[in-house]
Amino acid sequence: MRVTTCSKRLILESCGLEDLVYQVDPYVGCGHYCSYCYALNHAETDWREEVRVHEDLSGRLFHELLTIPPQTIYMGYNSDPYQPVEAEQRQTRKALELFVETGHSASFLTKSDLFARDFDLLTRMEDARVSISVAFNDDATRRLFEHDTTPTEMRMDALKQAQDAGLQTSALLCPIIPYVTDAMELLDSLAPVTDTIWVYGLTIRDRNGLNWKNVEAILAGHYPANRKRIEEVVFDREHAYWRDLRTRLEKAQLTMKPELKIHI
Ligand code: SF4
Residue 23: CB within 6 Å of ligand 1?
A: no
Q: pTM for this one?
A: 0.95
pLDDT at 44: 85
As a whole number of angstroms, the distance between CA 217 and CA 197 comes to 30
Residue 33: CB within 6 Å of ligand 1?
A: yes
As a whole number of angstroms, the distance between CA 134 and CA 185 comes to 11
Question: Any residues with CB less than 8 A from the CB of 46 and at least 6 apart, and which?
Answer: none
> What is the Å distance from ligand 1's center to 83 Cα?
8
Residue 13 CB burial class (10 angstroms; 0-12, 13-18, ≥19):
middle
Query: Could you state, in order of their start, the residue ranges of all structural domains in the chain?
Result: 2-263
CATH T-level fold of 2-263: TIM Barrel (3.20.20)
Residue 111: CB within 6 Å of ligand 1?
A: yes
Q: Which residues of the chain have pLDDT under 50?
A: none
pLDDT at 147: 85
pLDDT at 179: 97
> What is the Å distance from ligand 1's center to 203 Cα?
14
Per-residue model confidence as pLDDT tens digits over 89-99: 999 999 999 99
Residue 37: CB within 6 Å of ligand 1?
A: yes
> What is the Å distance from ligand 1's center to 68 Cα?
28
pLDDT at 16: 87
pLDDT at 177: 98
> What is the C-alpha end-to-end distance of the chain, expressed in Å?
35
Residue 32: CB within 6 Å of ligand 1?
A: yes
Three-state SS across the chain?
CEEEECCCCCCEEECCCCCCCEEECCEECCCCCECCCHHHHHCCCCCCCEEEECCCHHHHHHHHHCCCCCCEEEECCCCCCCCCCHHHHCHHHHHHHHHHHHCCEEEEEECCCHHHHHHHHHCCCCCCEEEEEECCCCHHHHHHHECCCCCHHHHHHHHHHHHHCCCEEEEEEEEECCCCCCHHHHHHHHHHHCCEEEEEECCCCCCCCHHHHHHHHHHHHHCCCCHHHHHHHHCCCCCHHHHHHHHHHHHHHCCCCCEEEEEC
pLDDT at 133: 97
Residue 92: CB within 6 Å of ligand 1?
A: no
pLDDT at 156: 97
Per-residue model confidence as pLDDT tens digits over 75-130: 999 999 999 999 999 999 999 999 999 999 999 999 999 999 999 999 999 999 99
Q: Which atom of ligand 1 is nearest to the CA of 76?
A: 3
Q: Which residue lies with its CA nearest to atom 6 of ligand 1?
A: 34
Residue 34: CB within 6 Å of ligand 1?
A: yes
Q: Which residue lies with its CA nearest to atom 3 of ligand 1?
A: 79
Q: Which atom of ligand 1 is nearest to the CA of 78?
A: 3
Maximum alpha-carbon separation in the chain: 56
